Homo-oligomer: A and B are copies of this chain.
């Protein structure tokens, strides 16, 4: 089947739907005096061709499984700031299960929205169809799975971030570099671990499997793994943590064992949430531009209205290493 033309006219869409142009126009303008089945059919066609149905509400919906973390806060703040610039506000919908997710999407669609941003969660078939039928654009922020062709998303270059963090430690003379990662089912965790391995491989340093750990993305997770690493016969001289929260926990473990950071052990975080620079020592970390990711996703919601571009698109924003005070040259050791 040849690809669909990118910008069909309303006349084309009317012909395809078997209705008049004025009916298409009604659906486009959010009028409800068109039979639901017809409205659905026209809505789907309009949305396939990059038209947005319904009236602007001045609201965009963020769907997230919880706040209470600096990571979530940065994403939300980025969306709120971008929305404010567009005289828009962000509705925060907390969703904790797939069933809740479908119910919340129903509620959002019934109320009306200019678009939906989901965090981590990659919606599937029925939800995608429901949104498309109503002409509601969707963008996924920091997808927890490999984003497919059907959904637009904004992530970050996790692989490159972990590579630069590990390379920074190699450049400082470290050879025994531990990696603490997050829960294994998360896509970005696997991608980052590959970046860590790639940096070691490029430097000809073998991966010591006992130095690769997985735990929760919390200070407690980082502390637990760091205490364990410190108890090894040959402890590492540096740790790449899975996120900044874990890195804070590593710093606590070091203090408990009287190990100085960065003189005795270097620590790198991941994310660069605002509190990363509150740490003592201030954290060297891989900056994931969380606020910019959410802001980009918000702007992508609006693109579908204006440009008629309905093609899915996956964007990855650059990660950058931010060098602060928690990394230093490897301590001299008898080899």
Q: Does A255 contact B (CB under 8 A)?
A: yes
With A111-B58, A219-B277, A251-B280 given, is the CB distance from A92 to B93 under 8 Å? no
Q: What are the residues of chain B within 8 A of A61 when measuring CB–CB?
A: 89
Q: Does A148 contact B (CB under 8 A)?
A: no
Contact yes or no, A89 B91, CB < 8 A: yes
Q: Which A residues from 82 to 141 make CB contacts under 8 A with B?
A: 83-84, 87, 89-94, 104, 107, 111
Contact yes or no, B57 A80, CB < 8 A: no
Q: What are the residues of chain B within 8 A of A291 when measuring CB–CB?
A: 68
Chain A, residues 282-304, CB within 8 Å of chain B (1/0): the string is 10000000010000000000000
For the residues of A in contact with B, the DSSP-based class is helix
Give the distance in Å from the alpha carbon of A275 to the alpha carbon of B245 in the complex.
9
Q: Does A237 contact B (CB under 8 A)?
A: no
Q: What are the residues of chain B within 8 A of A184 when measuring CB–CB?
A: none
Q: What are the residues of chain B within 8 A of A58 when measuring CB–CB?
A: 107, 111
Q: Which listed residue, B73, B94, B255, touches A67 by the CB 8 Å rule?
A: B73
Give the distance in Å from the alpha carbon of A89 to the alpha carbon of B94 in the complex.
8
Q: Does A69 contact B (CB under 8 A)?
A: yes
Give the distance in Å from the alpha carbon of A74 to the alpha carbon of B69 in the complex.
9
Chain A, residues 56-73, CB within 8 Å of chain B (1/0): the string is 011101000011111011
Q: Which listed residue, B80, B83, B104, B255, touches A280 by the CB 8 Å rule?
A: B255
Give the distance in Å from the alpha carbon of A219 to the alpha carbon of B279 in the complex.
10
Contact yes or no, A81 B59, CB < 8 A: no
Q: Which listed residue, B80, B245, B281, touches A92 by the CB 8 Å rule?
A: B80
Q: What are the residues of chain B within 8 A of A245 when measuring CB–CB?
A: 278
Give the distance in Å from the alpha carbon of A249 to the alpha carbon of B280 in the complex.
9
Q: Does A76 contact B (CB under 8 A)?
A: yes
Q: What are the residues of chain B within 8 A of A104 when measuring CB–CB?
A: 89
Q: Does A18 contact B (CB under 8 A)?
A: no
Q: Does A211 contact B (CB under 8 A)?
A: no
Q: What are the residues of chain B within 8 A of A111 when measuring CB–CB?
A: 57-59
Contact yes or no, A92 B69, CB < 8 A: no
Q: State how many angstroms separate the Cβ of A211 from the closest Cβ of chain B.
A: 23
Q: Does A329 contact B (CB under 8 A)?
A: no
With A68-B73, A73-B67, A90-B92 given, is the CB distance from A278 to B249 under 8 Å? yes
* 11 A-B pairs (CB sep. < 8 Å): A58-B111, A59-B111, A67-B73, A68-B74, A69-B73, A72-B73, A76-B76, A81-B94, A219-B278, A251-B280, A252-B280
| A interface residues, Cβ below 8 angstroms from B | 57-59, 61, 66-70, 72-74, 76-77, 80-81, 83-84, 87, 89-94, 104, 107, 111, 219, 245, 248-249, 251-252, 255, 274-275, 277-282, 291
- Further pairs besides A59-B91, A84-B93, A255-B281: 6, Cβ < 8 Å: A67-B76, A69-B73, A81-B94, A219-B277, A245-B278, A252-B280
